[in-house]
Amino acid sequence: MNVLRRILGGPVGAILLAFFLAACAMLVAGVSPADGFQALFIGSLGGKQQIAETLVQTTALLFPALGISLAFRAGLFNIGAEGQLVVGGLAAGAVGAHFAASTPIAVFVLLACGFIGGGVWGAIAGWLRAQFNANEIISTLMLNFIALAIANYLVSGPLKSSAAAGAETAPLPGSSWLPLLIPDTRLSIGLLIAIAAAIVLRWVFTRTVFGYELRAAGEAPEAARRNGVNMPRMTFLALTLSGAIAGLGGATLVTGVLHRFNTQLSPGYGYTAIAVALVGDLNPLWVCVAAFGFGILEAGGLAMQALADVPKDAIHVIEGLIILVLAARRYIATRAEGAPI
Amino acid sequence: MSSAAGVFIATLVTLTLIKATPIIYAALGGVISERSGIVNIGLEGMMAGGAFTAVVFSGITGSPIVGLLAGIGAGALLGFVLGFAATVFKVDQIVAGTGINLVALGGAAYALMLLYNQPGASPQVNALGSSYWILVALAFVCALVLHAVLYYTPWGLRVRACGENPRAVHDAGLHPLALRLYAVILSGALAGLGGAFLSIGEVNIYSDGMTAGRGFIALAAVIFGRWTPWGATGAAIFFGFFEALQYVLQGSIGWLPSDAMQAIPYVAALFAIAGLVGKVRAPAADGIPY
């Protein structure tokens, strides 16, 4: 009984709930759930292109969700993955437009730019928290909008491509593109990088001293501090790394999918990723599974609208409700003393 | 002063007031919620919910007043959801607030398709017309009333005590969870009113993304205004001024691009939260479930 309760109260329960809510959304729209789900799954898993698109969405969600998991594990509320992803993508796009080298080197350099860009954006929040005890929830949230404003300014001004009609950077040379994982689709090896990142993150959490201290800082901050964990340093590092992972995601979107930077890079991946991280229980490997589930929703949502007349925005309502339900579980150990919100 | 400059200044002042009004309402909502100890990240969603519902009900009944009341009700309902989750289920307020935003913004887009079968924007409905000036004035009345209630009534004292030390409120024989719930419902109602002002006050439709981050700007105003009604109102006017400036100047003045102006509220809040513009002290129990 207890086992059942644990399973249902966790990610599995959330997924069942998602199906139930999706069925409700379909019924409200006057569509039988059978037709709706059929459209959803045909649109996301019905063929090579559809599966590839689902995995593109999975990749886009996985990076920020891993970053968020890392910060949450350290007891820090990073809701700035969206901004960190944008800055990472912007850094990759800005450098990539003016940089040519042979493929492995060029791609590596651009991904590093994204990693650093996102890292800097996370580091600002980390520094503000470590130095001034400025609550990271507010700072990361505000930094999202600052990132968007900067990106808007740069792509419509200094970085605007003279060739493009819209506000975007010049396209990346072909040598800077991430190689495709499945030919003739949009799916690049970014997916493999994301999965590798998840495996590394799990290793860090479970097998390294840093990971142990990070989790200790999140779960028992007072005990961690008394046992010699340098809390300001841990705060700074956790938020920086968290941002860097999200930024790496932005760079894979630029080098793997868009091949340029524009501000339509993310339709809110950084916010949806909060749900992904929570459904995945902040455990990197489960987060991969959760990202695939949300990838199905994101990719299948459009087909659901086209084939079954269920507005695709239902997907976001479902995501929001999942977050609301999962909020009841305790994720963030109270590191609240002293940090004004 | 030349008459051209006079017209310019009059336009700027007028627009500042109009642009500040929805932010003032939402920011006042943020103040009362946070003073009771609940962080309301969901202000943005509550504004969108209010804006959308106001249009729907104005469309059905033909009366913008009914629409306005429905908008307030929708905000209050979302406030109730957050408050109920945060008090009875003791959920993480930030996570729940993020959920509220997704549900409200996605729900409005979803319902837009279901009700009007068109994405992006609703049809035109009856709006408040020139009487929306009453709402502009009412925003300041609300600030005054909230100030009076928070600082000069027993209820206000209790709400503030909830935000500082809910345990003490409980020991005094009161119900901190109930007080917090009422505060968040009121918070949602104010944000809903701000949203309704956007949709049936300034214009006469709801369009996706119309709140455009104003709920988050309001959150910034709460912090920049140091959790007081007048401070938040002042911050909202300050932020509204820069929004108005962008309209009046048609984009940018040479050295200050409009994107930079859009970032001003967020940068200001960042400075405020870091304590760089004077001492900032949030309610001691803000964000902590009781």
Q: What is the CATH number of the domain that holds B44?
A: 1.10.3470
User: Does the residue B166 lie in any domain?
Assistant: yes
Do residues B73 and B53 touch, judged by C-beta distance below 8 A?
A: yes
Q: What is residue B251's predicted lDDT score, i.e. its pLDDT?
A: 54
Q: Please, are residues A250 and A90 in contact by the beta-carbon 8 Å criterion?
A: yes
Per-residue pLDDT of chain B (290 residues; tens, 9 = 90+): 577 788 888 888 999 999 999 999 999 999 999 999 999 999 999 999 999 999 999 999 999 999 999 999 999 999 999 999 888 878 888 888 988 999 999 999 999 988 998 888 899 999 888 888 999 999 999 999 999 999 999 999 999 999 999 999 999 999 999 999 999 999 999 999 999 999 999 999 999 989 988 999 999 899 889 899 999 999 999 999 988 888 777 655 666 677 788 888 898 888 888 876 666 677 888 877 77
- Whether pLDDT at A329 is above 70: no
- Please count the other Cβ atoms lying within 10 Å of the Cβ belonging to residue A324: 24
Q: Check CB contact of B255 with chain A, cutoff 8 Å.
A: no
Residues forming a β-bridge with A1: none
> Is B44 at the interface with chain A, CB within 8 A?
no
* B80 located within any domain: yes
Identify the closest residue of chain A to B119 by CA–CA distance. Answer: A311
Q: Which residues of B touch A311 (CB under 8 A)?
A: 109-110, 112-114, 119
pLDDT at A336: 40
Q: How far apart are CA A257 and CA A52, in angstroms?
A: 12
Domain assignment present for residue B279? The answer is no
Count of residues in chain A: 341
Chain B residues within an 8 Å CB radius of A332:
92
* H or E segment to which residue B170 belongs: helix B166-171
Give residue limits of the domains in chain A.
Answer: 2-326
Q: What is the pLDDT of residue A328?
A: 66
Which of B41, B43, B92 to mutate to probe the A interface, most A CBs <10 Å? B92
What is the three-state SS of A31-92? CCHHHHHHHHHHHHHCCHHHHHHHHHHHHHHHHHHHHHHHHHHCCCCCCCHHHHHHHHHHHH
The residue type found at A258 is L
B288 falls within a domain: no
pLDDT value for A330: 54
- Decide: A278 and B95 in contact? Cβ < 8 Å: yes
**Tokens standing for residue B47:** 């504004």
At A130, the amino acid letter reads: A
Between residues A321 and A128, the one the model is more confident about: A128
Taking the C-alpha atoms of residue A14 and residue A17, their distance in angstroms, rounded to an integer, is: 5
Handedness of CA A300, A303, A305, A308 (dihedral sign): negative
Q: How far is the C-alpha of B216 from the C-alpha of B220, rounded, in Å?
A: 6
Identify whether the C-beta of residue B229 lies closer than 8 Å to the C-beta of residue A129.
no
Q: Which domain holds residue B88?
A: 9-273
What does the pLDDT average to over A96-119? 92
How many independent structural domains does chain B possess? 1
d(CA A238, CA A240): 5
Report the run of H or E that residue B56 belongs to, with start and end. helix B43-61
Q: Phi, psi at residue B276, to the nearest 5°?
A: -85, -10
Q: Which two tokens stand for residue B180?
A: 């917090």
Instruction: Write out chain B residues lying below 8 Å of A306, CB-based.
Output: none
Chains A & B: contacts with CB separation below 8 Å: 158
* A74 phi and psi angles, rounded to 5 deg: -85, 5
- The whole-angstrom distance between B260's CA and the closest CA on chain A is 7
Q: Which residues of chain A does B276 touch, with a Cβ-Cβ cutoff of 8 Å? A: 132
pLDDT at A1 over 80: no
Answer whether A320 touches B (CB < 8 Å): yes
Running DSSP on this structure, what letter comes out for residue A178? P
Query: Please, what is the average pLDDT of chain A?
Result: 88
Predicted TM-score of the model (pTM): 0.89
CA distance A322 to B238: 37
ipTM: 0.86
Mean pLDDT of A242-257: 97
How high is the pLDDT of residue A332? 46
Over the stretch A5-55, which tens digit does the pLDDT of each residue have? 555 666 677 778 777 877 888 888 888 888 888 988 999 999 999 999 999
Q: What is the pLDDT of residue A3?
A: 63
Whether residue B199 contacts residue A121, with contact meaning beta carbons closer than 8 Å, is answered with: no
The separation between the first and the last C-alpha atoms of chain A, rounded to the nearest angstrom, is 39
Task: Tell me the residue type at A238.
Answer: A
Residue keyed to tokens 């489960």: A286
In a domain, B285, yes or no: no
Which chain B positions have a beta carbon within 8 Å of A315's beta carbon? 106
Alpha helices of chain A — where are they, by DSSP H? 2-9, 11-28, 33-45, 48-73, 81-96, 103-132, 136-156, 190-207, 209-219, 221-226, 231-253, 269-279, 284-308, 314-326
A78 close to B (CB below 8 A): no
Inform me whether the pLDDT recorded for A324 exceeds 90: no
Q: Does A152 contact chain B (CB < 8 Å)?
A: yes
Residue A340: what pLDDT?
44
Nearest C-alpha of chain B: how many angstroms from A3? 22
* B152 is a domain residue: yes
Answer whether B141 touches A (CB < 8 Å).
no
Pick among 2.60.120, 1.20.120, 1.10.3470, 3.40.1360: CATH of A2-326: 1.10.3470
pLDDT at A333: 41
**pLDDT of amino acid B272:** 83
Compute the distance between CA of residue B93 and CA of residue B43 in angstroms, rounded to an integer.
12
The answer for residues whose C-beta is within 8 angstroms of residue B157's C-beta and 6 or more apart is: none
What DSSP designation does A174 have? G
What pLDDT is stored for residue B131 in this prediction? Answer: 85
- Give the model's confidence band at A322: pLDDT under 50 very low, under 70 low, under 90 confident, else very high: confident
| A267-311: pLDDT as tens digits | 889 999 998 998 888 999 999 999 999 999 889 988 888 888 888
Residue B254 in tokens: 């040479």
Residues of B whose CB is below 8 A from A149? 259-260, 262-263, 266
List, in order, residues 6 or more apart from A76 with CB less than 8 Å away.
A129, A136, A218, A235, A238, A239, A242, A335
Mutate to test the interface with B, among A79, A302, A313 (most CBs of B within 10 A): A313
| Helices marked H in A220-268 | 221-226, 231-253
Tokens representing residue B20 in the block: 């500040």
What per-residue confidence (pLDDT) applies to A335? Answer: 39
Q: Do A142 and B216 touch (CB under 8 A)?
A: yes
In Å, what is the CA distance from A264 to each residue of A80, A150, A254, B170? 17, 14, 11, 49
Report CB contact under 8 Å: B41, A340.
no
As a whole number of angstroms, the distance between CA B169 and CA A42 comes to 56
Who has greater pLDDT, A278 or A115? A115
